[in-house]
Structure 1
Amino acid sequence: MLRLNRRSSARTVFRLLGTAGLLALLSAPVSAQVTAFKQAIAEAASKSDAVAKFYRENNYQPIWTGEGEEHRARRAALVQALSTADVHGLPVDRYRLDRLMDTMRNAETTRDLGMVEVALSRAFVTYARDIQTGVLRPSTIDDGMVRKVERRDGDAYLRELETSVPGAYMRTLAPTSPQYRALLKEKLRLEHLLAEGGWGPTVPVRKLEPGDSGNAVVSLRNRLIDMGYMTRSASKSYDKSLQNAVQAFQSSHGLEADGVAGKGTITEINKSVGDRLKSVIVALERERWLTRDRSGRHILVNQTDFSAKIIDDGHVTFQTRSVIGKNTSDRRTPEFSDVMEHMVINPSWYVPRSIITKEYLPKLRANPGAVGHLEITDSRGRRVSRNHNFAQYSARSFPFAMRQPPGKKNALGLVKFMFPNKYNIYLHDTPQKHLFAREVRAYSHGCVRLAQPFEFAYALLAKQSETPKDFFHRVLDSGRETKVELEEHVPVHIIYRTAVISPKGQAEYRRDIYGRDAKIWSALSNAGVALSAVRG
């Protein structure tokens, strides 16, 4: 056992033992040491409500700087976690590990030790929150990111740590979803590529197609070889193998897979490793924002992919194309999660107030007979005559509602899927079927239109009907507006991901159609996240 005399300095003890046992070895009376230690904790912890609450409830007992192996293990686990935070795309400098280490090394007094205790707790709480539920607050980045992130109180993390195996507990904090783990793997792959110089020279931005030849074709071929879409070849012609590689690239980037390298395709091919790495780091942050429990059945709408999926126990059981909100300030589809409760077959369209005043009122003021497919109703639901003088109303004073009755030409089509929310967003059919053939499908007022709404309904109803298709069409053929409750409510996640990993493990990328990921990256960068090149 180490023996020290009364003249041994506190710093010497600290360097030899870390913080363990320092309280017991200081030369002042034990009662005075304990009082000074508690006072230091109370003072330092007052800057954080959560940390202060934890220490008040545990009577200011140390969990990092006391005697025993468990304290040493906690310190070691925290240092390990903070030093590798960049693996998760977190801002390492935010946790001030170097300053923490200096503070621990330079502790001279019992008061210093109390300050160290709280500094470790505060760093741990910040890290735990960041890695579990994200560095950023979505709504502060973009007003369309209205997702509510359930952030835990910091004292809960400290209580759990106190009763857990430290290293194992630190590893449970990060999301455990297959998507998060796959994104981490892709991040490391891209960091290695970044260290090696990326994918080589870019391709001249002009249309290239089968039958072409020359230096631009060679550049395209070389780039796709470096990206892993084809094997090495010396051919200078746009042959079948190059066409297949272009199609494969297009498929994994949400582009029309026609095998022709137009300007849009080449622009995506020319995106750098750094650009793709930013998308992955942003996707990791977005994954931290999502609820952890996505077991069972849920619906996933990825706006950048223009898709809607039903997922059962981690497997996609139904998928269809979608149309999302137009890229204007008042039409972009928001990002949030809710729960689908019912569907309405043969729905009426109750026109949102914003559409009435911005689009239809000007037409009515000019011509009372305009938009004749819509009923105008008063506050008691009575139809208003088209002989009414609509010119007297402004957008603020217009007192009427508008409704489109059920029918094939209804703006909502023949079925809508409801997860009641204050944003008035839902999934629905549409008579504008031609829009689903387009590559970029951002045309709606904000709701999500489905290319195969009937099949979507069958898949949902299969949980509660032995003949879901027959049931659906019996109701549809009645022509009556009918609400059908879902016996099992289904979580809905409307997300926005420009980087995803497919079920087969392939990284896929999409365009940042609303510019939201660029804003997130800027905010992460300002918080201290940086790209890193890793040589392996």
Structure 2
Amino acid sequence: MIMRNILRATMVRTWLGCAAVAPLLLAAPVAQAQVTDFRQAVAQAAASDADIAAFYRERNYEGIWSGSADRNRRNALMAAFAAAGDHGLSTSRYDPAPITARLQAATTPAEQASVEVELTRLFMQYARDVQTGMLVPSQIDSSILREVPYRSRLSTIRAFVQSNPDSFLRALPPSSPEYTRLMREKLAMERLLADGGWGPTVPGGKLEAGDTGNRVVALRNRLIAMGFLERTNTQTYDAAMVAAVQRFQQAHGLAIDGTAGQGTLREINATPESRLQSIIVAMERERWNNRPRGTRHIWVNLTDFTARIVDNDVVTFETRSVIGANQRDRVSPEFSDVMEFMVINPSWYVPRSIITKEYLPQLQENPNSVSQLQITDARGRTINRAEVDFTQYTASNFPFSMRQPPSNGNALGLVKFMFPNRHNIYLHDTPAKSLFGREVRAFSHGCIRLADPFDFAYALLARQVANPEEFFQSRLATGVEQRVDLVEPVPVHLVYRTAFTQADGRMQYRRDVYGRDGRIWNALAREGVAIRAVRG
């Protein structure tokens, strides 16, 4: 085709006797040929990705990055890539230098099309990473059952080309106050690292009020550097230091006694790098949950051993909790659902896993063991234990169910709060009240036990009855199992945050009781996320 146009131009030039005509006649067909070659190359480069192929097909394979008119869009994307590290994303994945070099070096339609499609692929990857996370939660830990609210890649880029590129890219990350505060703290911690961190750690063992010496000075300096103690020259563990240690303990979920014992010193000596890892993991987790939490919602932070009711981003009720023990089949999972009702005076229908693993061996040794539980057949009839030889059964063929009727000693206590889910997890009362005095409260089979279940019920019922306490107690007094529906179902979020913020921006840190955040950090590091120190 190009050769035909050259021959035609030569004939016209000879006929007119005007050499200037030739370039004019050549320019349009050659440019058109280049456009056609570019579009064909885009089609070929996009073919391996269905979303990208569909996007360019809709545009007749016209580019969105390569032309001079696309400069603002291109620059906005490169600026977003350059700031990817601020969000705790992989800086190597979004290094703008290599792609910029490819753009500048691309001269043929095939090279230009290759860069064009690669930029679209990177845009889609960046949009998903910064909006809903780099990792797939369940691939990191099978107990992270969160359903990530992924957006359509195709819809995202369609919207992008119709929008102001800078504004669109700025709006991609979570807009929650928590994400904003975590990112602010991340950047501050990176500046702290560049300035040398918190200084030397505190050597040795326990320190308490009245102690003096170099170790007290080391503790003093560390508390000052961390922001828990005003500047002072004291060399004595005085009242100001006791108060500072108490503030530190409160911010780290420790027993608040003002004494720097082994557990407190371990947390005081944690490195800024480890705290920064926790923040980056928390930002990834916030991206996984990048959807509205609910104007009223229940927030159960497993690492904090608390359950809260939150109204319009303000905590209106809080109670201590006990979570699943740190054993493979007892850990509490992470997911979100909707609380629909509570059951007052509940029966406990024993999960089969508990029946076969814990109670069947006891029954085989003594048929009268666990006498608080009724054993029922497939038709719900209570069986006579004396007539059953439990030794003939195994975990796979045990034919009975077990139920504990309502009572003060019921394993679920006197009320349970239901958000029906396939994991059989719920919130409930417990007769084992002493466990709420422990610093680490991981003892259950997976469900969440509440220290103040009645008050929790009153707070939920206050939206639908005039006197929630009287309403609840009147039903409790019957001793009969009763279901009470919530007129307004409440979203429930079981989360796991070792780093989180208070409304005033101050950080809170908790121990990684199940080791999940450590696994998430390792996975992020494999994807290229790294701790960095940044000069202010």
Q: Match for residue 519 of structure 2?
A: 519
Deviations 1:217-242 (A, max 9, x none): 11111111111111222222111111
1:433 partnered with 2:433: yes
Paired AA for residue 201 in structure 1? P
Question: Is the radius of gyration larger for structure 1 or structure 2?
Answer: 2
SS in 1 for 2:385: coil
Please give the TM-score of this superposition, normalised by the length of structure 1: 0.93
Q: Match for residue 309 of structure 1?
A: 308
Q: Match for residue 10 of structure 2?
A: none
Q: Match for residue 403 of structure 2?
A: 403
Deviations 1:274-301 (A, max 9, x none): 1111111111001000032124111100
CA distance in 2, matches of 1:511, 1:186: 18
CA distance in 2, matches of 1:291, 1:447: 25
CA distance in 1, matches of 2:29, 2:105: 19
Residue 66 (structure 1) shift? 3.6
Residue 38 (structure 1) shift? 2.0
Paired AA for residue 349 in structure 1? W
Q: Which moved more, 1:464-473 or 1:277-286?
A: 464-473
Q: Match for residue 20 of structure 2?
A: none
Percent of aligned positions that are identical: 56
SS in 2 for 1:93: coil
1:190 partnered with 2:189: yes
CA distance in 1, matches of 2:300, 2:288: 15
Residue 95 (structure 1) shift? 2.6
SS in 2 for 1:112: helix
Alignment of 1:40-79 (within 5 A): 40-66=41-67, 68=69, 71-79=70-78
Q: Match for residue 363 of structure 1?
A: 362
Conserved? CA contact 1:95–1:126, under 8 Å: no
Q: Match for residue 533 of structure 1?
A: 533
CA distance in 2, matches of 1:443, 1:366: 25
Conserved? CA contact 1:409–1:431, under 8 Å: yes
Q: Match for residue 383 of structure 1?
A: 382
Q: Match for residue 9 of structure 1?
A: none
CA distance in 2, matches of 1:34, 1:455: 71
SS in 2 for 1:246: helix
CA distance in 1, matches of 2:95, 2:267: 37
Conserved? CA contact 2:322–2:441, under 8 Å: yes
SS in 2 for 1:478: coil
Residue 213 (structure 1) shift? 1.5
CA distance in 2, matches of 1:486, 1:56: 50
Residue 152 (structure 1) shift? 1.7
CA distance in 2, matches of 1:278, 1:482: 46
Residue 114 (structure 1) shift? 1.7
Deviations 1:195-224 (A, max 9, x none): 111111111241111121122111111111
- Alignment length, in residue pairs? 511
Q: Which moved more, 1:504-513 or 1:55-64?
A: 55-64
Conserved? CA contact 1:205–1:263, under 8 Å: no
Q: Which moved more, 1:101-110 or 1:434-443?
A: 101-110
Deviations 1:157-182 (A, max 9, x none): 11010111100000000001000000
Unaligned runs of 5+ residues in structure 2 are 1-5, 7-25
Q: Which moved more, 1:52-61 or 1:391-400?
A: 52-61
Q: Match for residue 452 of structure 2?
A: 452
Q: Match for residue 22 of structure 2?
A: none
Deviations 1:401-449 (A, max 9, x none): 1000011100000111111111111100000111111110000000000
CA distance in 1, matches of 2:207, 2:356: 47
Conserved? CA contact 1:50–1:153, under 8 Å: no
CA distance in 2, matches of 1:494, 1:323: 13
CA distance in 1, matches of 2:175, 2:355: 45
Residue 49 (structure 1) shift? 2.1
Alignment of 1:66-465 (within 5 A): 66=67, 68=69, 71-387=70-386, 388-465=388-465
Paired AA for residue 35 in structure 1? T
CA distance in 1, matches of 2:411, 2:42: 62
SS in 1 for 2:477: helix
Paired AA for residue 138 in structure 1? P
Superposed CA RMSD in Å reads 1.4
Residue 56 (structure 1) shift? 2.1
Paired AA for residue 372 in structure 1? S
Paired AA for residue 58 in structure 1? R
Unaligned runs of 5+ residues in structure 1 are 1-5, 7-24
Q: Match for residue 475 of structure 2?
A: 475
Conserved? CA contact 2:86–2:183, under 8 Å: yes
CA distance in 2, matches of 1:125, 1:34: 25
CA distance in 2, matches of 1:229, 1:96: 38
Q: Match for residue 495 of structure 2?
A: 495
Deviations 1:452-479 (A, max 9, x none): 1111111111111111111111111111
CA distance in 1, matches of 2:38, 2:491: 49
Conserved? CA contact 1:282–1:517, under 8 Å: yes
Deviations 1:262-285 (A, max 9, x none): 000000000011111111111100
Paired AA for residue 408 in structure 2? K
